[in-house]
Amino acid sequence: MVGTYWIYFSLMKWFDRSWVGDLLATAAIGNYVPGYSQIIKYVASNSGSVAITITAVETVIGGLILLGILTRIGAAVGTVLALNLMLTFVFCRCPWTQDFPMIFWFYFFPIVLNAQVIFDRSSDALGLQSVVRKVRFSSKPMKRRNTTTSESNAGRNAPPLV
């Protein structure tokens, strides 16, 4: 679910990024997190390159999580990106924050889901990491147990030695 979230939102920007600049400019004007609005203003002035970078990062995060390759690293980057999106778009006096609970959960939910992927041991059960782990552990030679002749013949109906 987390991987499809990131892939979905990256696909929205791969084909049309023209709306990202206006969205960031509006968020920069209305953001009331101290110091963060200046960062958003700078980012909004470079919205073209920022949109491409964020789109690529979202695609990589979604791909890593969906394919099970470095899932925890992908989820950690996803958590940071989701936190950044929440600080940018939730805490501002903007038209979309009229329905604050919906907007808050829309951006808070990915933080929780990405954190769950980081801390849950089953997150890489079906991915490439588990395959590598199984191959690595199955290639170790088995240790032999030291046995003496009398121990190896104990309990067997071996003919007496003459």
Domain ranges of the chain: 2-125
- Report residue 90: phi and psi, to 5°: -90, -45
pLDDT in tens, 97-109: 677 777 777 788 8
Buried b (16+ CB within 10 A) or exposed e, 109-120: ebbebbbebbee
In this model, does residue 153 exceed pLDDT 70? no
Split at pLDDT 50, 70, 90, the class of 51 is confident
What is the share, in percent, of the chain residues with pLDDT greater than 70? 73
pLDDT given for residue 59 in this prediction? 93
**Which has more pLDDT, 44 or 62?**
62
In this model, does residue 16 exceed pLDDT 90? no
Residues 91, 32 contacting (CB under 8 angstroms):
yes
In this model, does residue 10 exceed pLDDT 60? yes
